[in-house]
Amino acid sequence: MKCSTEQSGCVSRCIKIGLLAVAGIGALTWIVMELWNCLLPDLFTGVSRIGYWQALGVLVLSRILFGGLRGGCHGHWRGHRAQWESLTPEERQQLKGRFHSRWGRCGSPTKAEAPENTGDNADKA
């Protein structure tokens, strides 16, 4: 999603999504810290309580060890790519049109809108 300063609604939407992501990571870190401190010291001798930043470190470490560094769902995207390559050019255009109608409010104008804008500017000049 591209955010431009010309579309304040899009910028505020991007800021809201960013704040929600930060809040979600913060909440997940707090849950990990609480679960660790409630369970592990009682279950295993020698395990001490952890703080918030240590819980965040545990989340990052578990992501590196179990999730990899590139992100998840690699096979999921390969399936989408194979499906995209099997579409006819007309079906691809329809799919692009659906994506643009859903997500095209943010960012630069489409190719179809660009000539109209330049034509309007030429008429005004």
Total domains in the fold of the chain: 2
**Predicted confidence (pLDDT) per residue in 20-38, tens digit:** 999 999 999 999 999 999 9
In a domain, 111, yes or no: no
CB 59 within 8 A of CB 32: yes
CA distance 3 to 12: 9
**116 in a domain, yes or no?**
no
- Can you read off the two tokens belonging to residue 29? 């870190």
- What pLDDT is recorded for position 49? 94
Q: What are the Cα distances from residue 106, in Å, to 42, 79, 94, 99, 100?
A: 51, 27, 19, 12, 10
Same domain, 6 and 62: yes
pLDDT attached to residue 125: 44
Query: Is 117 within the bounds of a domain?
Result: no
Residue 63 and residue 86 in one domain = no
Q: Could you give the percent of the chain with pLDDT greater than 70?
A: 68
* Residue 37, Cβ density class (10 Å: 0-12 exposed, 13-18 middle, ≥19 buried): middle
Query: 23, 36, 24: which is closest to 62 by C-alpha?
Result: 36
Residues 62, 94 within the same domain: no
Indicate if 100 and 59 belong to the same structural domain: no
Average pLDDT over the chain, rounded to an integer: 78
What are the pLDDT digits (tens) for 46-77? 999 999 999 999 999 998 888 876 655 556 66
Q: Is the domain of 50 the same as that of 83? A: no
Let me know whether 2 and 51 are in one domain.
yes
Mark whether 21 and 1 lie in a shared domain: yes
**Residue span of the structural domain in which 85 resides:** 73-104
CA 8 – CA 106 distance, rounded (Å): 10
Residue in this structure with the two tokens 């960012």, named with its chain if needed: 107
DSSP 8-state secondary structure symbol assigned to residue 46: T
Question: What is the rounded distance in angstroms from the CA atom of residue 78 to the CA atom of residue 89?
Answer: 19
Same domain, 25 and 57: yes
- Would 119 be classed as within a structural domain? no
Asked if residue 19 belongs to a domain, the reply is yes
Residues 5 and 51 in one domain: yes
